[in-house]
Structure 1
C-alpha cells in the first residue's frame, strides 16, 4: 500500500468514526429526521456502539418517543441487550417513562425480560417508585412474584430502597 493509500484509509477511518458518532448522538438526542435519512440509505436499525447500546436503547433511554417509534418501525429489536445486560424496557421502567414502556411493549418487548442479576422491568419501576409504570407492567402480566439473583421480589426491592407507593401496590397483587 502506498503512503497515499494509507493516508486515504486513515482519513476514511476518521470520517467513519465521525459519522458513527453523529449517528449515535442523533439517537441519543432524538433527531428523528436524521435517523430517517440514514435508515433510508441502509443504516442497520440495530447498529450498536462500543458499549453494546443500540440506537433504540439510546433513543428510548433518553425519552425520545418519535425516534424510538421510527427505529422500531424500521425493525430495531426491542429485546436487544447492551453489554451491561440492560434492555430498553428496563431503562424506561427505571426512568418512570410510561409512554416509552407502552411503546416498547406494543412493539414486542418482553415484560418479564431479566437483567444479568435477574431484575425485571417491574423491579426497576418498583425500586424507583414509578407507580404508573408498575401499574402498567402488572396489567401487561409482569410477574410480581419473580425474584432477583438475591431472592428479592419487586416489593422487597422497592421497600429496601424506601419507595413509598409501589410496595403496597405490589403486596396487593
Structure 2
C-alpha cells in the first residue's frame, strides 16, 4: 500500500501547489494511516466504511497526493453504490485531478457505464478535463454513451482521434 498525502481544497482548484500542499510530516502517523485506509476503501468499494467516515466528519472532497478525490477513486473503479452515496453527501462530480482529468471521463475510459449515468444525473460536466468524457467516448467508439453524455456537433475536434470503426470508407 502506497502512502498518500491528502488535502481539502475549494472546487476546481489545483490541490498541490507550494502554497496549498500541507506538510504531512507534521501529521500523526495514525492520521496518515486513516487517510490511506479511506482512499483504499474508495478504490475497493467499501461503501459502509467510507460513508460512515464521511458521516462522522471525513471531508467528502478529500484528495490524495495526485488530486484524486474519494469520489474519483470510487467512480474510476466502477463502484456505483459508493459513487451514489458520496454524491448524496455532496461530493463534487466536477473536480479535476492534478493531471486535469475528470472522473466522468475516467468512468467512460474504464467502461463503467452505470457510473457514467450516475455522474451525468448528478450534474457531472462531460465537457471538462482533457480528454473530456465526450472525447473519450468518441476515441473508444462508445456511441451509446455519446447520447448519455449529451454530445453535440463540435464537441469532438479534428485533433481527437477517430476509431477505425467510425471512419468513413474510401
TM-score by length of 1: 0.75
Paired residue for 1:7? none
Q: Is 1:47 the counterpart of 2:62 in the alignment?
A: yes
Q: RCO higher in 1 or 2 (8 Å CA, sep ≥ 6)?
A: 2
Query: Once the 2 structures are TM-superposed, how far is the Cα of residue 61 of structure 1 from its aligned partner?
Result: 0.2
Query: Once the 2 structures are TM-superposed, how far is the Cα of residue 31 of structure 1 from its aligned partner?
Result: 0.5
Paired residue for 2:13? none
- Within the candidate set 121, 125, 143, 2:137 is matched to 125
Q: Is 1:26 the counterpart of 2:33 in the alignment?
A: no
Structure 2: any 5+ residue segments left out of the alignment?
A: 1-24
Quick check: which one's helix share is greater? 1
Work out the CA distance in 2 between the residues paired with 1:103 and 1:143: 20
- For residues 108-155 of structure 1, what are the alpha-carbon distances to aligned partners after superposition, in whole Å with 9 as ceiling and x for unaligned? 10122232xxx3211111212223222422xx2x2342355xx424xx
Q: What value does the CA root-mean-square deviation take over the aligned residues?
A: 2.1
Work out the CA distance in 1 between the residues paired with 2:116 and 2:153: 17
TM-score by length of 2: 0.76
Larger radius of gyration: 1
Paired residue for 1:145? 154
- For residues 22-56 of structure 1, what are the alpha-carbon distances to aligned partners after superposition, in whole Å with 9 as ceiling and x for unaligned? 00000011100001210121111100000000000
Structure 1: any 5+ residue segments left out of the alignment?
A: 1-9, 169-173
- Within the candidate set 80, 91, 96, 2:95 is matched to 80
Paired residue for 1:100? 115
1:145-164 equivalences in 2 (<5 Å): 145-147=154-156, 151-153=158-160, 157-159=161-163, 162=164, 164=165
Number of equivalenced pairs? 144
